[in-house]
């Protein structure tokens, strides 16, 4: 089951208490204070892990509390500090405050660490309070309480290429054709209910990762259909492939393209300016070639590539994979969102 949102509570371990103790040794007539300090509580640390792919574990386990530090002991023995609590999250997890307003961390790199809640410091023992005017102090400190926060986790998949388009545009068929991903494929809308990732081997030791998200419809930014909750998974993509059903059964292709792009703009200005390639699918079923020609002319006026493929017959697939691989190879990451492809 794919889960891309979760709310958790993290709590750092409390610090250990300082100790009140005095020396009691034979032949030492004036014993002094020797109470040790308490140990520090453990931190709660989130770590980006490539082995995790969903936030599902956090749906059932929502509290992560590090262990407290040991109390101080006599003979100036400091209590043992607790080890940090490691919480592994998928690479691409964004950590936000409970209300989802402020972004606190973006764990986009494997092995990246972020301290979510710091443990409390240990309290001081009575040996710390000894002075020339107070040689037998009974004062000590309790351990400090560890931090406690409620955090919202959101997962954004990491992919080079994102597939967008209306339901049944052929996105799942395409990713199944060019990669080892095996999403459900059927002839009814919204067959795809969750994002899928696939690795494409483009030859010449080149490869790239493709993300397939559920289809969009008009009004998705207002919650229509499956809404826009999956669009976050293509915000990190360097390139978008906008798939258009070549059968053109329900609407004009130009209207279909503009409708999806309006949804992207309504969701995020970042998505609206990402490099984009138009891909007309189901070329083996195209009956109205004039509609395809109008779309090509419209794309040419806007300097957008427009390719035609059939994921069933394989027509145009090698050319599309090469085109995408060349674009990724020749476009630096920091320029991927500057101009359209």
Nearest residue to 242 (alpha-carbon basis) of 165, 312, 305, 320: 165
State the chain's maximal CA–CA distance in angstroms.
108
Average pLDDT over residues 234-247: 85
Query: Which pLDDT score is estimated for 193?
Result: 61
Q: What is the pTM of this model?
A: 0.73
Q: CA torsion angle for 133, 138, 141, 142 (degrees, to 10)? A: 180
Nearest residue to 253 (alpha-carbon basis) of 166, 185, 172, 312: 166
Mean pLDDT of the chain: 84
Q: Bigger pLDDT: 154 or 339? A: 154
Average pLDDT over residues 75-79: 92
Average pLDDT over residues 65-88: 95
Q: Is the pLDDT of residue 335 over 60?
A: no
Average pLDDT over residues 78-91: 94
Domains and CATH numbers, the chain: 5-155 (2.70.210.12), 161-335 (3.40.50.300)
> What are the distances in angstroms from CA 300 to CA 106, 165, 288, 294, 319?
37, 19, 19, 10, 18
Residues in the chain: 341
Give the 3-state secondary structure percentages of the chain, helix then strand then coil, rounded to 5: 20, 25, 55
Q: Bigger pLDDT: 284 or 103? A: 103
Q: Is the pLDDT of residue 336 over 60?
A: no
Partnered with residue 63 across adjacent β-strands are 9
Q: Which residue has the tokens 């054709």?
A: 177
303: left (phi over 0), alpha (psi -120 to 50) or beta: left
Place 217 in a pLDDT band, splitting at 50, 70 and 90.
low
Task: Return the structure tokens found at 141.
Answer: 């400190």
At a CB cut-off of 8 Å and minimum separation 6, what does 267 contact? 220, 221, 228, 231
Supply the DSSP string of 177-230, one letter for each residue. Answer: HHSS------SSTT---S-EEEEEEEETTEEEEEEE-PPP-TTGGGT-TTTTTT
Tell me the C-alpha distance between 247 and 245, whole Å: 5
Least confident of 96-105, 199-208, 318-327: 199-208
List phi, psi (to 5°) of 290: -65, -35
Place 89 in a pLDDT band, splitting at 50, 70 and 90.
very high
At a CB cut-off of 8 Å and minimum separation 6, what does 230 contact? 4, 194, 195, 213, 214
Average pLDDT over residues 292-302: 86
Place 80 in a pLDDT band, splitting at 50, 70 and 90.
very high
Q: 96-137: per-residue pLDDT in tens?
A: 999 888 999 999 899 999 999 999 999 999 999 988 888 889
Partnered with residue 77 across adjacent β-strands are 73
Query: Which pLDDT score is estimated for 341?
Result: 41
Query: Which pLDDT score is estimated for 337?
Result: 42
- 3-state class (DSSP) for residue 24: coil
Q: Is the pLDDT of residue 191 over 60?
A: no
Q: Is the pLDDT of residue 43 over 80?
A: yes
Least confident of 90-99, 125-134, 181-190, 313-322: 181-190
Q: Is the pLDDT of residue 212 over 50?
A: yes
8 Å CB contact between 237 and 208: no
């Amino acid at each position: 089951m794919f889960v891309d949102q979760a709310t958790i509570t993290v709590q750092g371990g409390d610090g250990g208490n300082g100790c009140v103790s005095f020396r009691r040794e034979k032949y030492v007539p004036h014993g002094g204070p020797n109470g040790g300090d308490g140990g520090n509580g453990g931190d709660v640390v989130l770590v980006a892990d490539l082995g995790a792919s969903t936030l599902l574990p956090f749906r059932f386990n929502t509290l992560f509390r590090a262990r407290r530090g040991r109390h101080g002991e006599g003979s100036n023995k400091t209590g043992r500090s607790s080890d940090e609590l490691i919480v592994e999250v998928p690479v691409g997890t964004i950590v936000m405050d409970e209300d989802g307003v402020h972004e606190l961390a973006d764990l986009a790199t494997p092995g990246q660490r972020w301290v979510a809640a710091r443990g409390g410091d240990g309290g001081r023992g009575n040996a710390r309070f000894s002075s020339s005017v107070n040689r037998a102090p009974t004062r000590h400190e309790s351990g400090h309480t560890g931090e406690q926060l409620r955090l919202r986790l959101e997962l954004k998949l990491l992919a080079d290429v994102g597939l967008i388009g209306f339901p049944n545009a052929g996105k799942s068929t395409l990713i199944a054709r060019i990669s080892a991903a095996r999403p459900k494929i059927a002839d009814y809308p919204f067959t795809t209910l969750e994002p899928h990732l696939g690795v494409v081997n483009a030859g010449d030791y080149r490869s790239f990762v493709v993300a397939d998200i559920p289809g969009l419809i008009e009004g998705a930014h207002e919650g229509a259909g499956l809404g826009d909750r999956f669009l976050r998974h293509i915000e990190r993509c360097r390139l978008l492939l906008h798939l258009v059903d070549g059968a053109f059964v329900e609407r004009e292709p130009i209207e279909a393209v503009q409708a999806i792009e309006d949804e992207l703009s309504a969701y995020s200005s970042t998505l609206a300016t990402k490099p984009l390639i138009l891909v007309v699918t189901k070329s083996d079923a195209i009956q109205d070639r004039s509609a395809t020609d109008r779309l090509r002319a419209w794309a040419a006026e806007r300097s957008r590539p427009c390719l035609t493929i059939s994921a069933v017959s394989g027509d145009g697939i090698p050319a599309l994979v090469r085109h995408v691989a060349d674009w990724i190879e020749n476009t630096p990451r920091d320029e991927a969102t500057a101009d359209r492809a």
